[in-house]
Structures are given as structure tokens and as C-alpha cells.
A and B are shown apart, each in its own frame.
Chain A
Amino acid sequence: MKYVIVGYSVAAVNAITAIRESDKTGEITVISNEDRLYSRPLISYYLAGKLSKDKIGFTSTDFEKDMGVKVLYNTEAVKIETKSRHVEINNKKKLPYDRLLICSGGTPIKIPVDGLKDNLSGVFTFTKLADAKEIEKYIEKNKVKEAVILGGGLIGMKAAEALLGKKMKFKILDIADRLLANTFDREASAIIEEKLKENGCEFLKETTIKKVVSKAGKIEELVLSNGKKLKAKLLIMAVGVRPEVSLAKGTPIAVNRGIVVDARMETNVPGVFSAGDCAEGLEFLSGKGAVIAIWPTAAKQGKVAGHNMSGAKDVFGGSFAMNSVEILGVPSISFGITNPKEDGYEVVKKSGEGKYKKIVVKDNRLVGVILVNCIERAGIYGLLIKEKLDVLALKKELLTDDFGFLLLPTDFRKHFVTGEGTEV
């Protein structure tokens, strides 16, 4: 059996491990457009100076040897031929496959801004190690002390974490009225905004960039949507990521927002699988397909894809959005639907002493949680969402400081914690 994997991050690593559980001899070739395997979320720790670049891996150093995989680094997959079953790479070479896994991840979204040119120096995205290295070099060379981050989402917060580690000041701009607009609400955001202020940084809500002013190819100043001007030597564009699906375009592989997969992580083309940030798998709460671009989902989907590619049977049970973000010593974890817009949801919350807990319930089932500064035992909330436990009589308990299994119904608790040591 010949396996070809496009993209080399967490989904690929889990797929390889899963394939090798049953197929010890099949030929596995990985196409990576990077020069090494590393954990992308760790680039903020690298830029902050908390991890050296040889410490940002997430597998054993002998992973490739142990698994017997051939990795083509610095190689771009340019075309997939589903009929003749091969992938063409940038030196025109064709790699035949019996099973193909597309786990090409995401690409930073570029938004058109007046005056923003491609080769302008001082403007960066922040999703790859190369980005972090270039930002580091630029900061040193130009002695940058202040920065602007466009986008207060996950990547923006990651960039903020990194710059704080470098003792830099920055302003975060976002068109939304709060930080982490997809998961946080105003109260949760306010806790972090306050911290940012204490550290000489600032969040400018409902603000975007109207024009970029540059001089000699270098960024100088920003004109904001409110007309104000802002000096900026360094601009990090963190407006979001879109699924990298360009390889599948123009082939019979079905693409919606991401590459559409079934519960086995197989696309509509037999033998072609997809996983991770480029794949549109089952979203647990809606029961529909969605791209959930988070590490644990990519790991799980990669594993399921690997099993099915090698002939073992495995099913992806769906996942829902969840995130863990810590900034300025404020840890936060969120799950599911945290800001319901339609009717039919019930919200209960509790705040005080810098802590914030919010619970979102629909049809007596927990569907969303925000925890700021009180993340202990957070995973149990995730379990309740997954198990669709009836929480009608439990709403108050869910908000308590000593929340745990003893506050849950006896049969539910016992099923999970006692007896024969139930495993998930």
C-alpha cells in the first residue's frame, strides 16, 4: 500500500501513528512545505523567548525513523490527479498513491487595505515558525518597542502573548466590540482588557485600518477607521485563517468551506482523506459539517483518517469549538456556543474577584462555557457537553467554585468515576 500525506503537522503525525498500528510495511511519503516538523501553536513561546527553536517539536526526535516514513521537506504539492491517483510536486515528480491524506492546514487571511503592498517590510502574519523568525529579526534590526496587532482573535492573542514576552507594548485592533469575539463575551473580554491596560497595552474595539502609510518600503503610520493616526513600525495581521483547500479545487474532491469529509474522514473521492484545519468534519452541537481549526480536533481526525486508510475501522464522533488562552497570567478556557444569537438559549453567569464563569444551556443541555481565571477541572464541562447530560436541575451547581462530579447525578458520576475505572 502506498500512502501520500500532504502537509506535516499534528493531523499527519497522528495519521502516521494510526497507519503503523496495523500496516508496518506500507510506503508512507509526506510532503511538507516547511523545513522541519514543529508545533505551530508554540511559535508564540519561541518568539517570547520561552522556548528555543529546537524545543518546539511535538514528537520524539526519532519519529520519522521509528515510523519508517519518508518526508519531503521544502516541497510543495502542486496538483492532485484523482483518476490516475498521484500527487505532482514542485519538481514535476509524480508520487503515486493508494491512499491520500490532505492535511494542508490553514492560510492566514489577507484583507485588502489601502497602501498595503505585498512586499512592505514591517508587516507580518503569525502562523508559522518562519513568521516568528522574521518578526524577531525585524524587531532586533529596527529596535521596535511598540507594535500594532490587527485582529483580537486567537492568533492576535498568540501574537500579543509573544510580544509581552519580549517586553513590548502594543495596540490590538478589532472590528468586534471585544477580544476573542468568537468565544468571549464583553465581561470576559473586559477582564483581559483591564490587564492589557495595566501593562501599557490597549485594545481598540470596533476599529480597523483604513490606510497604511509607508516610506521607502517600510511601514510608518496607520490611518484608522475612526480617522485617527497611529505610528506603527510593526504590524501583525491576525485577522484569521482560512482552510487551505487550493489543492482540492479543480478536482472532483468536494469542497465547501473546507474539504468535505464523512465520519471516516474520507472525501467523496474514494481513497482520498482529509483531516485538520483544512477539513470540514462533523460539528457535534449542530450535527452539521464545519471546520474546527483546533489542535485536539486535528489530532483526533488524523488518527481516525489513519485508521481507515490502513483498513482498520474508526469513526470521528464530531467535535466542538474549544480554546485555552492565557494572557498576562489570566488563564481562560471556553467551550461550544458561548454567545448565542438566536432564542431558546439560557445563560447563567457568575463573576467577582477577577473570575468569570458563564454557562449556556439549550433544551436543558449544556452547550457553551466560558471560564476566566477559574480553569480548574474545566474538562468536566466538556464531558457534560459531549454526554448531553440533562442539566435542568444543575444550573446553579455548574457555577460553583468547587464544581466536580459529586454535584452531578449519581448514576452519571458512577458510570464515569467508580467501578471498573471507566475510560473514555
Chain B
Amino acid sequence: MKRIVINEEYCLGCRLCEVHCVTAHSKSKDIIKTFKSEGFKPLTDSCIAFEKCGYTTFALQCRHCHDAPCIEACLTSAMYKDKEATVLHDKDKCVGCWMCIMVCPFGVIKPDLKNKRVASKCDLCGDRETPACVEHCPNEAIKMKK
């Protein structure tokens, strides 16, 4: 089972995790094209909640809760668990009721208020062996759980 753990002591606040998260979820998967021609923004469109206060920083993703409140609260079953127990989000089913935003205790689901649906939610980079944020974290602040 893929799981990500974070360690704030090691986080440098470089925000590369966000840049690579957005790239991994873009069409081209190319770091230049993602931001130049696909119109993504590196610091707002990622599935990561980045926090900074003084010198302390950390980058938090969905914890893929065992008893996920977002799934319980979802009115449409847009939020669901796959066979790997990864919590995933189906944009086509989402109506933007924001129940998941209300119940996620980590505040890691981002709303797209304009298009009325959940904007981004960590999918553990299903198609990749290692999630992009883990792979590109230069200081092992974001790691795979063994």
C-alpha cells in the first residue's frame, strides 16, 4: 500500500513538491509545457497544502484516511476508495457541495470555487511507481512509508 509521510524538520520550503505535483498531473507531464502552455500555476494548482510560518515549513498531502470522512460526507460518491485503499476523486461526479472541504481534518482538499468542483486532491500519483512529490523532494522531507 502506497502511503506518504512527511517530516517538517527536513522541509526546506523549496516548494519543488508542488511544481512536480502539478507537472505529474498535467497533460504533457513536461515541466516547461505544464506551466507555459497548459496554463497551470505551480503554487496553487497542486494537491499539496504548503504551509509556512517563520522558518518552519511543511507540505501536506491527503493522508488517505482508513475511515475517510470525505467519503462518508460525499453526496455523490465522487470521493471513493480504490482497491489499494487510496482515496480518489472523480471530477465528473463532483457537484461542488464542499462537504469534503468541511470534514477533511487536514484541510488538504482544495475547492475550485469557479468550476464548482474539487480542484485537486492527492491521488498518490497512481500511474507512477513513486509519487512526484516524494521523488523530487531534495531533502527527504516527503517520503514513502515503508
Chain A residues in the interface with B (C-beta under 8 A):
14, 39, 41-42, 45, 50-51, 55-60, 295-296, 299-300, 303, 322-324, 326, 329, 331, 333, 335, 375-380, 382-383, 386, 402, 404-407, 414, 416-424
Contact = CB atoms under 8 A, between A and B. Distances in A.
Interface residues of B, number: 45
B104 A379 contact: yes
B7 A418 contact: yes
Interface SS of A by simple majority: mixed
B63 A423 contact: yes
26 contacts: A41-B75, A42-B76, A42-B95, A56-B76, A324-B97, A324-B98, A331-B111, A376-B111, A377-B49, A379-B101, A379-B103, A379-B106, A379-B109, A382-B103, A404-B51, A405-B107, A406-B51, A406-B58, A418-B8, A418-B58, A421-B6, A423-B65, A424-B63, A424-B65, A424-B67, A424-B69
Contact of B145 (A323, A324, A382, A420): A420
Given A58-B77, A404-B49, A375 B98 contact: yes
B95 to A, nearest CB: 5
Contacts of A329: 113
B64 interface: yes
Contacts of B101: 324, 333, 375-379
Given A333-B98, A375-B111, A407 B53 contact: yes
B98 A331 contact: yes
Given A375-B101, A379-B102, A418-B5, 14 more contacts: A296-B99, A322-B103, A324-B98, A324-B99, A326-B98, A375-B102, A376-B101, A376-B107, A378-B101, A379-B104, A380-B107, A406-B56, A418-B7, A424-B65
Contacts of A322: 102-103
A379 B107 contact: yes
Interface in B91-144: 93, 95-99, 101-107, 109-111, 113, 116
Nearest to A300: B72
Contacts of B52: 406
B8 A422 contact: no
Given A296-B72, A299-B72, A421-B63, A383 B105 contact: yes
A110 B64 CA distance: 43
A405 B72 contact: no
B66 interface: yes
B19 interface: no
A322 B66 CA distance: 22
Interface string B64-83: 11110100111111000000
Contacts of A324: 97-99, 101-102
A324 B111 CA distance: 13
Interface of B: 3-8, 49, 51-53, 56-58, 60, 63-67, 69, 72-77, 93, 95-99, 101-107, 109-111, 113, 116, 145
Contact of B105 (A14, A51, A326, A380): A380
Contact of A417 (B6, B64, B102): B6
Contacts of B107: 376-380, 404-405
B63 A326 contact: no
Contacts of A39: 75-76
A284 B98 CA distance: 22
Contacts of A402: 51
Nearest to A334: B102
A421 B5 contact: yes
A421 B95 contact: no
Given A42-B76, A420-B5, A422-B63, A376 B58 contact: no
A193 to B, nearest CB: 20
A8 to B, nearest CB: 15
A216 to B, nearest CB: 39
Contacts of A380: 105-107
Contacts of B102: 296, 322-324, 333, 335, 375, 378-379, 382
Contacts of A382: 102-103, 105
A335 B102 CA distance: 9
Nearest to A405: B51
Contacts of A299: 72-73
